[in-house]
Structure 1
Amino acid sequence: MIIQAKISGAEAVRLYDIKMENAAIIRKAARDIMVSGNNLEMFGFTDSKYYKLIRSLIEELRILFVEWVAGFDPKHFIVDDWGLFNPPGISHDYIQSDDELDFLDEDEDDEF
């Protein structure tokens, strides 16, 4: 449930830092799913053999995920003063100019 909610959340915004934050949560959720399969085997669940199917689907998601994240526009960002989700080359103490904060395309309405 977390993965699909965070994909929707990332697609609903234009800001690079928010997209990356959602991407990090998606990655963590996918990794949690991978690890939970090991727990099933450890605790002796009889149907844990089907977990290999889930692992292969997570791997397919990972490949699509990498391509998806590469498509995020690093020009649309607000500085993350924690330094985690800034575009490459932007430090936590980077000072943004007002024109960097104008993310609207000319053909979009100002209804935000």
Structure 2
Amino acid sequence: MPHDDDFLPENFSFDDHEDVEYLKHRALFEKAQELAHLTQAFVQSLPEPPEIPLLGEMMLENSYVLSAKLAASRAVPYYSRRMELAVLIKVAAEGLLTQTSTCRMLSIGAPEYWQLLRDEVEQFRLLFVAWVQDFDPTTDAEDEWGLFSNPLR
């Protein structure tokens, strides 16, 4: 098993803004992975056949989107593209909240997971807010769709 230091860049310094962003991204990514594992456990607790067809698949998809879009955001330097990915992450997280509420209303799945999933999404949200605040709007390319045009340009 890798040691935590194996994930740090070689010349790591807390003085460097990118390193702080890296740590925030890493914490958020780890929380996304925890949510995916927790969602998998919850989906396994759903009855066969589920009360709502495809509910478990939708929950899994939302939990997987979190990690996938976070990984993609690490590869793009542009503000508008990172904002686009952040919106998709937010929508997936909110989808998980809606789906846990649906399960609670219909009394399906293991009840101990309902609030646990919601609490984990809230922890993810707090990390997400801190992460998004580090997006640099001065590093941008034109958004051809006009959704995230940088007001500083």
C-alpha change, 1:47 and 1:14, in structure 2 (3 Å) is: same
Alignment of 1:1-112 (within 5 A): 1-87=64-150, 89-90=151-152
Q: Which runs of 5+ in 1 are unaligned?
A: 95-112
The structural deviation recorded for 1:72 is 0.8
Q: Which runs of 5+ in 2 are unaligned?
A: 1-63
The structural deviation recorded for 1:43 is 1.9
Instruction: Answer yes or no: is the 8 Å Cα contact 1:17–1:80 preserved in 2.
Output: yes
Instruction: Answer yes or no: is the 8 Å Cα contact 2:70–2:85 preserved in 1.
Output: yes
C-alpha change, 1:46 and 1:80, in structure 2 (3 Å) is: closer
Instruction: Count residues in correspondence.
Output: 90
The structural deviation recorded for 1:39 is 0.8
Percent identical residues: 33
Q: Which has a greater percent of helix?
A: 2
The separation in 2 between residues aligned to 1:25 and 1:41, in whole angstroms, is 25
The structural deviation recorded for 1:81 is 4.0
Q: CA RMSD in A?
A: 1.6
Segments of 4+ moved more than 3 angstroms: none
Q: Deviations over 1:52-106 (max 9, x none)?
A: 011111111111101111101111111224332223x25xxx7xxxxxxxxxxxx
The separation in 1 between residues aligned to 2:99 and 2:84, in whole angstroms, is 23
Q: Secondary structure at the match of 1:34?
A: helix
Q: Deviations over 1:3-59 (max 9, x none)?
A: 000000111110111100100000000000000011112222151342101111111
The separation in 1 between residues aligned to 2:65 and 2:83, in whole angstroms, is 15
